[in-house]
Structures are given as C-alpha cells and as structure tokens.
Amino acid sequence: MDTPLAPEQGVDSPDDARELAIQRLKMKQDFKGVLAGGLFAVVVTVVIWALGEGGYFWPVWVMLGAAIGIVAQGWKAYGPSNRITEEDVQREMNRGV
C-alpha cells in the first residue's frame, strides 16, 4: 500500500499563492503604518527641539530608531520573498541533470 508523501516543509505550492498574496498585502499595509508613525515621531521631536533652546540635535536618535523600524518593515514588505516555489525546485532539479 502506497502512502502519499507529505509536502516538503517550506516549499510553496500554487494553492498557497492566494494566502501568500494576502500576507504580502498585510505587510505592505503595516509598512505604511510604521512609516507614518515614524515620520510623525520625527516631526514631533524636531518641533519640540526647535521650540526649545536648540543646541545639540537630539532628535537624530529618534530619527535613527524610526529609520531602523521603517527599513526593517520595508524589507519585509517589499524585499525579496524567501519562499521556495515549485518552479525553484524544478529548476534546481533540472540543473543537476
């Protein structure tokens, strides 16, 4: 009696395409929120600094933190997908032949 093989862990089948597309759209939406929040924080801190005595430009630390979060979320949303597709598997198999 033959038993079907379990799908390989981490290999995306065409059936998963819709779910993956929804996840990517959610990540892009999250990126927009992180970007807006980061820019808001930067603007508020620069205004507070400008209304104060000025001097040492301490909002640069807020900018750095916001930039790290924005870049990380942007990479997740718009960077390359780390998914292995069936086409990737077939291409690698044909390369060895």
pLDDT value of position 7: 47
Q: What is the pTM of this model?
A: 0.67
User: Do residues 78 and 31 lie in contact, with contact meaning Cβ atoms separated by under 8 Å?
Assistant: yes
Please name every residue paired with 12 in a beta bridge, in sequence order, or none if there are none: 85
User: Reduced to 3 states, what is the DSSP secondary structure of residue 11?
Assistant: strand
Mean pLDDT of 48-62: 93
Domain positions in the chain are 54-79
pLDDT value of position 90: 83
